[in-house]
Structure 1
């Protein structure tokens, strides 16, 4: 019950003034319902059947009931929608501000499940608050009416109700535990669904893998979810049946036992019967909200758990500082980063310690075999990871969580696992207007994609073409440093020639620092340096072309692309 109380407090934490209005309108709705019940009871028992006062009271209370119910519903729905909006936006901000390593540890499937399933469960719970408030007000008003009719009988009803609620609490706790199991099962099934879509090519190419995955993994997760849903439903129905037995037992005690033990008038007895019957609807409404509120409570715990995890450690800052332009010097000083081992048989991979300097106006190639640490190096280089030992400095300033976001704004990157946004978000409209079409022509994709109103006309193109669009986006960012992680790996030779022979030298000529992770050794002579990573350590490889003073532009390259554009 304390968790449910905390859940309700969370929903009302940012709406104190609206909460007062909701309570007042809810009380009016409840009290007007009780007033109508009292007037009807008087009319049925013949008291004032022809009185104009009772007729006016009936009409006035009915109007007050309708108006207050409307206002209460409207206020609560407005509040509910604002709460869900703030909750979702707050969680999204936590995601984009969290350390990248934390996001990797939590996993995309858990974050997506929280943003979709948990926030949806919270929405259902919040949207049920209008009915919850009205029903509580009606039950409270009816209780006052019963106490007014006979306080002795009301004490007996309260005693029986408390005994029944003690049993109800035990049943409710079982429902809550089952709801937690349902939520966990949904998370597992969601992860399998993500594997189903992301691994479609691999599943199609291997019948055994496909059939085992669907018949075993997905079926097992779906069966577990079905089982926990059934258990939760059975426990909820048991709880509901217990409440019905308790409720009708109370009516039976009032009608059969109270007249023998207490001196109740006919009017009081009729009032008790009517009030108890009138309370059936609100009571069932409250019981119907139990599963929804339970799922909302579980969702809140998951959301808070993810939020606390995303807030772990030190927050990244420095976004308000402007990006430094001009000559830049990026320095690794005994910088190292290590992953924790995932299992007993796996050793921890460590990058570094690294001592390397990269300046603007320099073109550096990064090479190395699989598992040599290239991807980790790129993440540390771009500020997605902070070194655990040593330091990374920009123009002599050490990078810490306090200025990490500012540091990252100095980089434009196309990662090997890049994501392409259809909109050119956050870019200078004037720069898009003056340069975007030129880059599309240079990369020979203007016949398939255009830019209109700051977004690509389509991104439903091949992987190689999508990577070219990602390169266009990076060019329009106009950052001091550019990082390309295996950009040319799936490009045709003509686009490799453009990339290595034109774009990279042009970026260097514009004073940009260019770092390229690649295996294309036939283009190494274009760069200034080649750094080789081996088991997390950097070895600088002599650049034969640079040392002999040969022309950086290979003879095979022709300026036909740019001239034809």
Structure 2
């Protein structure tokens, strides 16, 4: 019950005024139901059949019930849709403002499951509130009517109902736990579906991998989801059956036992039976909401466990600071970033300590083997990560969580795992109008793509062409620092020459700080410095021309002679 209370409190926390209106209309619906029951009972027992007052009361109460139901549902649907919209938008804001490392640890599949499956479950739960409120009002009104007919009989009904609800509570807890298992199974299956779509080439090239993946991983996850869904449905049906037994048992007690123990009039007995039968519909409506509310509670728990709970704000306080103008200098002072250990037998990777600086108008190449820390360095440099020890400063100002987003606005980047947006979002329209076509021509992509109404005409291109478009977007951002992570890896030689021979020198001439992660040693002479990373540390640094000369002077490896034996 505490979880249900938290869930309802979560949904209603920003709607106090509307909640008052909903309560009033719900009370009107319940009270009109009580009045209708009383009038109908009188008419059934022959009292007042010739009285115009009863006829007018019947018509007035019926109209009041219909209108109050209509108004209550309209208010609740309006509230529900507003809540769903706010929930979805708040979640999106929480994602883009959450620490990047937190999102990495959770993984894309869990974030997507939260944004789709969990928000959808919350939406169903919120949409069910209108029926829930009306049914509760009707049941409350019927209970008042039963107490008015005979308080002794009503106390007996309450005692029996409480005993039955204790059993129902145990069954409901099992339904809630099963709903949690269903949600976990959906997350696993969602991750496999993501692997299916993103790993299609690898699956097609290896029959054994494909067959094992589909028959074992996907089938096991799907079977687990089917099994948990079946268990949840069975437990829900058991809960529903228990309620029906309890309900009809109460009617049996009222009709068979109460007349022997209590002095009930025929009118009271008829009223009790009639009211109990009238309560069947709302009671089953409430039971029908149990799985939906259970999934909503589980979804809320998942949202909170993801670290995106709406009551835990991550938005930066204060006004947004503009990007600093003039020359800039990024400095690393004993900066260390450490990944979490994944097991006792695995040493966690540490980047640093790093002591270096990168200034405006400087072109720096970053090199190193796989696992040397290049990608981690790029994330630390661009402000996606903050150091665990030491500090990173911009123009002498230390970067802390409060200034992290401001710091990130000084960088434009094309990552190795970049994502290309079709729309040129957030860019200066005048800059797009004056420079976009020129950059498309410079990168030899203008024959494939044009820019219309602030978006690319198409992004359905090869990987190399998409990278060129991502580079166009970065150029139009006009930031003090540019970071390119293996940009030229997918490019033909002619585009590499444009990138290294034209674009990078032009950015440096414009006073931009340029950092390029690359293995193209034949272009190192273009840069001012080359930094080599190994096992998370800078092990070598020299001028670009000296590094390039060193590569040219290195002796070629001779082929090993093959043995005649």
Q: Which runs of 5+ in 2 are unaligned?
A: 550-565
Is the counterpart of residue 225 in structure 1 residue 225 in structure 2?
yes
Contact (CA 8 Å) 2:530, 2:547: kept in 1 or not? no
CA change 1:160–1:317 in 2 (3 A) is closer
What displacement does 1:417 show? 0.3
Output one character per residue of 1:510-555: Cα deviation in whole Å (capped at 9) or x when no partner: 0001110001111111111111111111134433636999xxxxxx
Q: Which runs of 5+ in 1 are unaligned?
A: 550-565
Name the CA distance, whole Å, in 1 between partners of 2:81 and 2:547: 66
Contact (CA 8 Å) 1:318, 1:403: kept in 2 or not? no
The runs of at least 4 aligned residues of structure 1 exceeding 4 Å deviation read 308-319, 546-549
What displacement does 1:95 show? 1.0
Is the counterpart of residue 160 in structure 1 residue 173 in structure 2?
no
CA change 1:170–1:69 in 2 (3 A) is same
- For 1:104, the equivalent position in structure 2 comes to 104
- For 1:402, the equivalent position in structure 2 comes to 402
- For 1:561, the equivalent position in structure 2 comes to none
Contact (CA 8 Å) 1:139, 1:282: kept in 2 or not? yes
CA change 1:414–1:318 in 2 (3 A) is farther
Name the CA distance, whole Å, in 2 between partners of 1:153 and 1:387: 70
What displacement does 1:150 show? 1.0
What displacement does 1:341 show? 2.3
What displacement does 1:343 show? 2.3
- For 1:246, the equivalent position in structure 2 comes to 246
Output one character per residue of 1:132-182: Cα deviation in whole Å (capped at 9) or x when no partner: 000000001001111111111111111111111111111111111111111
Secondary structure, counterpart of 1:307 in structure 2 = coil
Secondary structure, counterpart of 1:369 in structure 2 = coil
- For 2:496, the equivalent position in structure 1 comes to 496
Name the CA distance, whole Å, in 2 between partners of 1:376 and 1:315: 25
CA change 1:441–1:257 in 2 (3 A) is same
What displacement does 1:315 show? 7.0
Is the counterpart of residue 291 in structure 1 residue 270 in structure 2?
no
- For 2:301, the equivalent position in structure 1 comes to 301
- For 1:36, the equivalent position in structure 2 comes to 36
Structural mapping, 1:223-372, within 5 Å: 223-307=223-307, 320-372=320-372
Name the CA distance, whole Å, in 2 between partners of 1:309 and 1:295: 17
Contact (CA 8 Å) 1:91, 1:307: kept in 2 or not? no
CA change 1:547–1:85 in 2 (3 A) is closer
What displacement does 1:277 show? 0.5
Secondary structure, counterpart of 1:147 in structure 2 = helix
Output one character per residue of 1:260-310: Cα deviation in whole Å (capped at 9) or x when no partner: 111111111111111010000000000111111111111111112213589
Secondary structure, counterpart of 2:307 in structure 1 = helix
- For 2:422, the equivalent position in structure 1 comes to 422
Contact (CA 8 Å) 2:94, 2:308: kept in 1 or not? no
Structural mapping, 1:159-198, within 5 Å: 159-198=159-198
Contact (CA 8 Å) 1:399, 1:407: kept in 2 or not? yes
Contact (CA 8 Å) 1:414, 1:474: kept in 2 or not? yes
Name the CA distance, whole Å, in 1 between partners of 2:459 and 2:465: 9
Name the CA distance, whole Å, in 2 between partners of 1:177 and 1:37: 39
Contact (CA 8 Å) 2:330, 2:393: kept in 1 or not? yes
Output one character per residue of 1:460-484: Cα deviation in whole Å (capped at 9) or x when no partner: 1111111000000000000000000
- For 2:205, the equivalent position in structure 1 comes to 205
- For 1:505, the equivalent position in structure 2 comes to 505
- For 2:471, the equivalent position in structure 1 comes to 471
Name the CA distance, whole Å, in 2 between partners of 1:173 and 1:112: 27
Contact (CA 8 Å) 1:422, 1:455: kept in 2 or not? yes
Higher deviation after alignment, 218-227 or 328-337: 328-337
What displacement does 1:35 show? 1.2
Name the CA distance, whole Å, in 1 between partners of 2:260 and 2:297: 45
Secondary structure, counterpart of 2:384 in structure 1 = coil
What displacement does 1:20 show? 0.5
Output one character per residue of 1:345-364: Cα deviation in whole Å (capped at 9) or x when no partner: 32111111111111111111
CA change 1:548–1:4 in 2 (3 A) is closer
What displacement does 1:314 show? 8.3
Q: TM-score, normalised by structure 2?
A: 0.94
Secondary structure, counterpart of 2:321 in structure 1 = coil
Secondary structure, counterpart of 2:356 in structure 1 = strand
What displacement does 1:87 show? 1.3
- For 2:388, the equivalent position in structure 1 comes to 388
Contact (CA 8 Å) 1:103, 1:310: kept in 2 or not? no
Name the CA distance, whole Å, in 2 between partners of 1:343 and 1:201: 31
RMSD after superposition: 1.8
Secondary structure, counterpart of 1:118 in structure 2 = helix
Higher deviation after alignment, 245-254 or 386-395: 386-395
CA change 1:319–1:355 in 2 (3 A) is farther
Secondary structure, counterpart of 1:29 in structure 2 = helix
Contact (CA 8 Å) 2:409, 2:479: kept in 1 or not? yes
Q: TM-score, normalised by structure 1?
A: 0.94
Name the CA distance, whole Å, in 1 between partners of 2:448 and 2:343: 47
Secondary structure, counterpart of 1:542 in structure 2 = strand
- For 1:560, the equivalent position in structure 2 comes to none
Higher deviation after alignment, 539-548 or 450-459: 539-548
CA change 1:41–1:310 in 2 (3 A) is closer
What displacement does 1:344 show? 2.7
- For 1:58, the equivalent position in structure 2 comes to 58
Give the number of equivalent residue pairs. Answer: 549
Name the CA distance, whole Å, in 2 between partners of 1:100 and 1:178: 32
Contact (CA 8 Å) 1:98, 1:311: kept in 2 or not? no
Name the CA distance, whole Å, in 2 between partners of 1:318 and 1:367: 39
Contact (CA 8 Å) 2:504, 2:514: kept in 1 or not? yes
Contact (CA 8 Å) 2:94, 2:314: kept in 1 or not? no
What displacement does 1:312 show? 8.8
Contact (CA 8 Å) 2:362, 2:514: kept in 1 or not? yes
CA change 1:544–1:124 in 2 (3 A) is closer
CA change 1:82–1:40 in 2 (3 A) is same
Higher deviation after alignment, 517-526 or 344-353: 344-353
